[in-house]
Chain A
Amino acid sequence: MHQVPFSTPGEVSDALEAVDYLSDPTISQTVFLAERLAKPVLVEGPAGVGKTELAKALAKIHDRRLIRLQCYEGLDEAKALYEWNYKKQLLRIQAEKGAEWRAIEDDIFAEEFLLTRPLLEAITSTEPVVLLIDEVDRVEVETEALLLEVLSDFQVSIPELGTIRAASAPLVILTSNNTRELSEALKRRCLFLHIGYPSVGREKQIILARVEGITDHLADQVARVVRSIRSHQLRKPPSVSETLDWARTLIELGVTEVDAAAVKDTLNVLLKYQTDIEKVGDAYTGPDPIEPPVA
């Protein structure tokens, strides 16, 4: 396991491959720079291409804990950063009936009444961690602001306690499905990485690495067919995770050779919209737009 920093991007991609994450030069170069410059990485791309997986793989490589903050609309400071444990504080006040207020006040704003949420946890951890901020595009612009302090200086300010600085800089990965523009301020603090659909060769390697008992030939066919399906104008093209599901389905069904009929029967694994399924189904088995092969 890698405790030392990487010395070349090549090492990054080898280490990732060792934990079954197949990167490409852009991914490994960006991760390498992120560690060198101690900057967060903002990873964008369609669903299911391995954005979240990347963070998990990095945690595995470095043997670090992965702390995940799943973003959603309405996520606020109390759920992301820290919260005072009101109930415990109230109990303390009631238990101390008759005591001097000043003493109580000092008492109830101590660390034992603090509920740490993912961001604070990542910062106060004595061991370096990997912090995954998932689907950051779902939070409101106002909430982005509280991420900024954490991302730029790795510190958190709590009015009653002062500023808490990170003991060790966490490696931060943010993912976004691009449902809205993130603020310029947030983007400026991050390196940007777009992960698109992989090339046929890379997707085949991913299938071989992730799907138990698949033959090289079948993996090759699956990757080629998926590439072909993605070239149609679809509402939702198949993602890498759907490709893997499909490959497993084919194995379950005992398919060793992909043909039009096999594709048509199992399209619902790859595609999630009826209109897409019809479109692709017609393309492969309907009247063929290309001329018949030369006899």
Chain B
Amino acid sequence: MIDVLGGFIQELRTAGLPVSMVETIDAMEALRHTDLGDRPAFKAALGATLVKNVRHYEAFDTAFEVYFALSRSDESSAGEPGVTGPRGEGSGQGSGGDADLEELLEALALALAADDTAWLQSLARQAVDQLAGMEPGRPVGGTYYLYRTLRQLDVDGLFDQLVEEALAATGPLNDFDERLLREELEERIDRLREEIKAEIRRRLVADRGAEAVAKTLRKPLIEDTELMHATRADLVELEHVIQPLARKLAARLARRRRLRRDGRLDFRRTVRKSLATGGVPIEPQFRAPKPYKPEVFLLCDISGSMATFARFALQFVYAMSNEFSKLRAFAFIDALDEVTSYFSRETEFSEALQRISSEAQVVWLDGHSDYGRSLEQFWTGYGQSLSAKSTVIITGDARSNYRGPQAEVLEGIHDVARAVYWLNPEPRSYWNTGDSVMGKYAVFCDEVYEVRNLRQLETFVESIAEQGHRRVPLHKVG
């Protein structure tokens, strides 16, 4: 047990969870009080002692499934519900391993309709047995087996069948009730998918060992996901974390500002307070310091490859808008347009983004990025509103499709503004390769950051908001 737990904790650390020595000891101690045969209790005991952050649960779940998968197959299969019914009588062939697909599908439909989890699990096991065609030692990933199983099960057909049967049982429903019903059945089908996935994972572990499987399943924590290559599922998850992350950062900045007690002594309030203590000024009172907040001009490349990144940059900076005295946003592809008015307190972020792509004048010629032209438009159209208080942030990969970079325009901006920052979502090693002209622009930026994930984005926003609190102007790099 200790060996297995050691390996498990090692895996958690590899996945990025900060598990300390103290927590390891706690986990051991907790297991002494836990019924090890009770899987949910066992998992809860490890979860409570080893995971201290909601965002880490997914990594924990995966590692747990992999490391403690074998405990499932240890269970005797004597009392297993067979294909024919929840209590497994009638098939006469024990586990029903050679029941054909027809029967399996029928049983699945019944189990789904009855919402019987245990039965569903055993059927998922049979489905993998019959359909996945898993061969020991074959070097294919779990997704291949999953795909094979689901294709033969025809899950969509199963769903339609379920809906039809449920409707036949209840009689025709109004739209609202039908909608509820469909959503619930969809959720059950999703659960079946998950069960099959878990089963395949268990078998892979039995075949190749936990270590090897964990390696193929390990996913980076969401804050380390590459923004440029985020999948649809990643985007949904990023949506969920970006607001709390921004909120936390805003709270952190506000707190630091309050701690800086550079306010002057408030003589009147101090004297009033001292009346309670017989004229002894025990608690001096201070005036609140006046925070300095930078005004931000945000220029985002929203062409195809950059759209996702721009979206998160905009969303993050907007979530922090209280930290800035003014915030103006501009979008460009080969033309530039101000989009500040699209973001108001009331509009949903995704709506604003949709409006930008349909209404903003950002395409002039062919919809390929043209940095030179866009910068020039910014300079001629909005340059007069730049001042020594302005911080200009440009996001994009500086790939201008071999069009003139017009870096001298950026020089002009740089001379007027307090600071110019460039956020590039490409890995540093790709800069200045092909049509990237990052180097030409970097000369006139105070700082160029590689921002490939949320964590780096957060660090950057924090650093510019912090500069507002420093009285000394930033040292400019030539």
Contacts and interface: CB of A to CB of B under 8 A. Distances in A.
A101 B123 CA distance: 85
A263 B176 contact: yes
Interface string A1-33: 000000011000000000000000110011011
Contact of A140 (B41, B247, B255): B255
B248 A39 contact: no
B29 interface: yes
Contact of B252 (A94, A180, A184): A180
Contacts of A272: none
Given A29-B41, A37-B33, A179-B251, A192 B51 contact: yes
A184 B33 contact: no
B75 interface: no
B7 to A, nearest CB: 22
Contacts of B57: 194
Nearest to B239: A233
Interface string B245-257: 0011001100100
B146 to A, nearest CB: 24
Contacts of B252: 180
A180 B277 contact: no
Given A188-B23, A284-B176, A26 B167 contact: no
A104 to B, nearest CB: 16
Interface string A171-187: 00000001111001001
Nearest to A182: B52
B33 A32 contact: yes
Given A25-B40, A284-B179, A290-B182, A187 B278 contact: no
Contacts of A233: 239
Contacts of A193: 48
Interface string B154-182: 00000000001001000011111111101
B393 to A, nearest CB: 24
Interface in A225-268: 225, 227-228, 231, 233, 259-260, 263
A259 B29 CA distance: 51
A188 B20 CA distance: 8
Q: Which of A9, A225, A274, A284 has the most CB of B within 10 A?
A: A9
Contacts of A190: 52
Contacts of A30: 44, 48
B183 interface: yes
A105 B40 CA distance: 59
A255 B442 CA distance: 66
A140 B259 contact: yes
Nearest to A262: B176
B183 A180 contact: no
Q: Which of B52, B54, B173, B179 has the most CB of A within 10 A?
A: B52
Contacts of B348: 275
A41 B47 CA distance: 12
A260 B278 contact: no
Nearest to B348: A275
B18 interface: yes
A86 interface: yes
A260 B174 contact: yes
B124 to A, nearest CB: 20
Contacts of B167: 293-294
B54 A178 contact: yes
Interface in B312-357: 346, 348
B33 A33 contact: yes
B308 interface: no
A160 interface: no
Q: Which of A33, A39, A90, A181 has the most CB of B within 10 A?
A: A33
Contacts of A293: 167, 172-173, 178
A180 B173 CA distance: 46
A275 B173 CA distance: 29
Contact of A224 (B33, B48, B52, B180): B180
Contacts of A263: 176
A45 to B, nearest CB: 8
A290 B164 CA distance: 14
B45 A33 contact: yes
B40 A37 contact: no
A181 B255 CA distance: 13
Nearest to A32: B33
Contacts of A8: 35
Contacts of A284: 176, 179
Nearest to A189: B22
B30 A37 contact: yes
B34 interface: yes
Interface in B220-275: 239, 244, 247-248, 251-252, 255, 258-259
Nearest to A138: B251
B248 A187 contact: no
A187 B26 CA distance: 12
Interface string A275-294: 10000000010001010111
Contacts of B346: 274-275
B280 interface: yes
Nearest to A190: B52
A210 to B, nearest CB: 22
Given A29-B44, A263-B176, A86 B164 contact: no
Contacts of A260: 174-176
Contacts of B54: 44, 178, 194
Interface in B4-50: 18, 20, 22-23, 26, 29-30, 33-35, 40-41, 44-45, 47-49
A191 interface: yes
A102 to B, nearest CB: 21
Interface in A121-168: 140, 142
B277 A87 contact: yes
Contacts of B177: 259
B211 interface: no
Contacts of B182: 290
A180 B34 contact: no
A263 B23 CA distance: 46
B184 interface: yes
A73 interface: yes
A135 to B, nearest CB: 12
Given A41-B48, A87-B277, A192-B48, 8 more contacts: A29-B40, A33-B33, A33-B34, A90-B278, A191-B30, A260-B174, A260-B175, A288-B179
Interface of B: 18, 20, 22-23, 26, 29-30, 33-35, 40-41, 44-45, 47-49, 51-54, 57, 164, 167, 172-180, 182-184, 239, 244, 247-248, 251-252, 255, 258-259, 276-278, 280, 282, 346, 348
20 contacts: A29-B41, A30-B48, A33-B33, A36-B30, A44-B54, A87-B277, A180-B248, A181-B53, A181-B248, A188-B20, A188-B22, A193-B48, A200-B184, A224-B184, A225-B180, A259-B177, A274-B346, A290-B182, A293-B167, A293-B173
